[in-house]
Amino acid sequence: MSNPSRWALVALIVLPAIQAGEPIPRPNRITVAPRAAFNVKAGFTSSFAASAVDPGPATGGKVPRTYDDGFVGVDSGGNAEGKTWYWGYQNGAQVDVAADSLNMNALLSSGAASVEDVDEDLLFGGEVTYTRYLFEFGRAFWGLELGANFTPVSIEDSTTLTATGTAVRDAFSLGGITPPGAPYTGTFAGPGPVIGDSPVRTPLTPEVVFTGRREIEATTFALRFGPNLDVPMGEPLSLQISGGAYVMYADAEFTYSETASVAGQPVRTPSGRVEEQDWMLGAYVRGQVLLALSQSVGLFAGAEFLFVEDLELENASHSATLEFGESFAAFLGVVFTF
C-alpha cells in the first residue's frame, strides 16, 4: 500500500472518532507542585598544566634553571669553569652526602584524576503545568501540555584523587663543599659557595595526590512540551501519561580548592572558579494519578523520567560535569480544572 493510501486509511479511522466526541466541558487543567529530583549526578576531574618551573635541557651548563625546590642560575662571572654561586635550595633532604650532589626537583605536569557519579540524595524544586484537552477518543482524553520547573543544584565532593605526574630530578655536583643550611639563596653578584651548573637528570613519574573540595552549584529552569493522555480509572481517579521535548537552561558555577602533593616535593594548592550558562536539550516521559476532590480541584502525584544532555564546565586543569541524563523526579501537588 502506498504512503498516501496509508494516511487516507488513518484519516478515515481517526477523524470520525475525533469529530464524534462530545465537547469537553472542562478542557483546561493547571497543576502546581513541589518536586524532588533523584539521580542528578556530577563528575569532577583534577590535574595541573605545565608548571611555571623551567628545568631547562637535560645536559649542559650556563643555562638558567628553575625548580619547585630551588634554582641554578648563571652568575655574574658567567659560570666560570662550569660552576656557579647563583643557586638556591629549600630543604636539607635535597643534599645527597654520599653522592656529593644537590638534587633539584621539578614537577612538570600531572595526568587527569577523576571521580564520577557523585550525587545528592534529593534536590528540591517546583513545577507548574498547563494542559489543554483537545478531543475525546474512546474513554480517554487527548491533549497537549506545557510545563515549567526549576531545580537548584548543589553537589560537593571531597574524594582523594590520584594521578601519575611527569617530573625530573636534576643532580648538581657539590664539588666537596658543605652547602649552607636550608633554605639558602645565593646572589647573582656573589661571591658564595659554588656548585656545578650541568645536571645529571633522572625522569620521574610520581604519584600526584589531590585532596580538598570540589563543588558544582546551579540553578536550572526547564520547559517541556508534548501530548497528554488522560485515562479515567473510575471516579474519582484518573491516570495521565505524557511525554515529549524537554529543554533546560542552567546557570552553573564550579569551584575547587585543593592540595596537590608529591612525596618529597613542595605542596601545590590549585584553586579556581568556572562559570557556565547553557541550554541542554532532551526528552521526558511522565505519569501521574489524579484524585478529583470536586469538579474543579484535585490532588495529583506522579513521576517523571528525563533524558537530557550533560553540562560541561572546564578550564585548563579542572573540569566538572553536571548530569541530568537518566534522572527522575517525583511530585505531589494540586490540580485546578476549568
- Whether residue 59 lies inside any domain: the answer is no
Judge if 98 and 237 occupy the same domain: no
Please indicate, yes or no, whether residues 171 and 292 belong to a single structural domain of this protein.
Answer: no
Report CA 61 to chain centroid distance, whole Å: 45
Give the whole-angstrom CA distance, residue 144 versus residue 137.
14
276 and 188 in a single domain? The answer is no
DSSP string, 217-255: EEEEEEEEEEEEEEEE-STTEEEEEEEEEEEEEEEEEEE
Shared domain for 310 and 235, answered yes or no, is: yes
Cβ-count burial 264-286 (b if 16+ within 10 Å, e if not): ebeebebeeebebeeebebebbb
Q: Which amino acid is at 90?
A: Q
Residue 300 to residue 286: CA distance in whole angstroms: 13
Cell (9 digits) for 37: 529530583
Question: Of 77, 221, 212, 83, whose CA–CA distance to 152 is shortest?
Answer: 221
Alpha carbon distances (Å) from 338 to 143, 187, 242, 290: 14, 86, 20, 15
| Same domain, residue pair 246 and 330 | yes
pLDDT tens digits, the chain, 338 residues: what are they? 444 444 433 333 344 444 445 577 789 999 999 999 999 999 999 998 766 789 999 999 999 999 999 999 999 999 999 999 999 999 999 999 999 999 999 988 888 999 999 988 899 999 999 999 999 888 899 999 999 999 999 999 999 999 999 999 999 999 999 999 999 999 999 999 999 999 999 999 999 999 999 999 999 999 999 999 999 999 899 999 999 999 999 999 999 999 999 887 878 899 999 999 999 999 999 999 999 999 999 999 999 999 999 999 999 999 999 999 889 999 999 999 99
Q: Is residue 97 part of a domain?
A: yes
Residue ranges making up the domain that contains 294: 23-48+111-162+208-337
Spatial CA neighbour of 278 closest among 250, 254, 306, 310:
250
Whether this model's pTM surpasses 0.95: no
Co-location of 264 and 313 in the same domain: yes
Look at residues 247, 244, 337 and name the one whose alpha carbon lies nearest to residue 298. 337
- Contact between 56 and 67 under an 8 Å Cβ cutoff? The reply is no
The C-alpha cell that represents 8 in the structure block: 487516507
Can you tell me the distance from the alpha carbon of 159 to that of 182, in angstroms, rounded to the nearest whole number?
34
Number of domains in the chain: 2
d(CA 263, CA 165): 12
Q: What is the CA radius of gyration of the chain?
A: 34
Per-residue pLDDT tens digits for 198-232 = 999 999 999 999 999 999 999 999 999 999 999 99
Residue 113: exposed, middle, or buried by beta-carbon count in 10 A (0-12, 13-18, 19+)? buried
CATH number at residue 268: 2.40.160.20
Could you tell me if residue 291 is inside a domain? yes
Rounded-to-integer distance, Cα 161 and Cα 294, Å: 57
Is residue 118 within 8 A of residue 179, CB to CB? The reply is: no
Is 222 in the same domain as 202?
no
Write out the DSSP string of 160-195. -EEEEEEEEEEEEE-TT--PPSSSEE--SS-----E
Dihedrals phi, psi of 258, to nearest 5 degrees: -130, 170
Instruction: Give the number of other CB atoms < 10 A from CB of residue 319.
Output: 19
